[in-house]
Structure 1
Amino acid sequence: MKLRSFQLSDVHDVLQIWQETAIYECEKETLTVLSEQLAIDRDLVLVAELENGRVVGAIVGTKDGECGFFYCLAVNPEFQKKKIGTKLVQALEERFVKKGVKRTWITVDEGTEKLLPFYKYLGYTNSCSTRLEKDLLTMEDRLIV
């Protein structure tokens, strides 16, 4: 298996993995992050590729100054528990370091809560216990003028 930067030809394989592992809303959000990151720096979008050319994992990283963020770490269910996710995270961390990143952040939501033990195993710690949000677009229907 080799880890490498994302190529446009990987899009179908990566989308398939996300469809099998992510909830629909997260999948749509990740596509947006993916396209934005590819326009900025495709070196922070990695895939895990088998010797036969099959892509079985992906991770999307972004950076803002000295802070790195990663989204949608996903591994094909057939290949989970084989250290592919660990290798993808480690490879992204190495690329972050080369780009001057000093701290990495991961947002865990209802679709990725199951990965908390995995992230803790990799040395990540909880910096907050809650994230609150409110969709203001739905309030327009309820406003009384």
Structure 2
Amino acid sequence: MNLRSFQLSDVHEVTSIWKMTASKEREEQTLQVLAKQLAYDRDLVLVAEKDGMVVGAIVGTIEKDTGYLYCLAVHPMFQGQGVGRELTILLEDRIRSKGVERIQVMVDEGTEKLAPFYHHLGYPQVSSSILKKNWLFQLQDAVSTT
């Protein structure tokens, strides 16, 4: 599997994966997050390829001292094969390389099914909308989003 930064030529394959894994409303929100992040820092938008086919994507961003993971999606035929885990780990590494130690995962109505996956990766559930991981291994107060 090849993990790399998103390229504009990936947009159709990534959009296709989001259509298979998200609601129409969530897909539109994801495209907005993608466009915003690509304009800001394209190093935090990643895709996974297998045999030349894009099979997964994830979007990250940094605000102040916190990194956020959004929009993880893996093609249904490739789920359960480590694609999401590898994308998440690489994105975490890229966020940490920018000096950020605290990472949060945004989970909402369209992505709540990912909560057990992120919990398995070390993000204990702290609310119905955020999972949090602190690279300093210290518990911090839950951050509430409204």
The TM-score with structure 2 as length reference comes to 0.86
Contact 2:115 2:125 survives alignment (8 Å): no
Q: Distance in 2 between matches of 1:69 and 1:129?
A: 16
Q: Distance in 2 between matches of 1:132 and 1:34?
A: 20
Q: Distance in 1 between matches of 2:128 and 2:116?
A: 15
Gaps of 5+ in 2: 130-143
Do structure 1's residue 118 and structure 2's residue 90 form an aligned pair?
no
Q: Distance in 2 between matches of 1:114 and 1:86?
A: 15
Percent identity, aligned pairs only, is: 58
Contact 2:3 2:47 survives alignment (8 Å): yes
| Residues 20 and 70 (structure 1), Cα distance of their counterparts in 2 relative to 1, 3 Å cut | same
1:74 equivalent in structure 2:
73
Gaps of 5+ in 1: 134-145
The number of residues matched between the two structures is: 132
Structure with more strand by fraction: 2
Cα deviations by residue, 1:65-107 (Å, 9 ceiling, x for unpaired): 2200111100000000000000000000000010111111112
Q: Distance in 2 between matches of 1:116 and 1:87?
A: 16
Contact 2:56 2:72 survives alignment (8 Å): yes
Within a 5 Å distance, the mapping from 1:1-145 to structure 2 comes to 1-50=1-50, 52-129=51-128
Q: Rg bigger for which structure?
A: 1
Relative contact order, higher structure (CA 8 A, sep 6+): 1
Structure 1 segments (4+ residues) deviating >6 Å:
none
The TM-score with structure 1 as length reference comes to 0.86
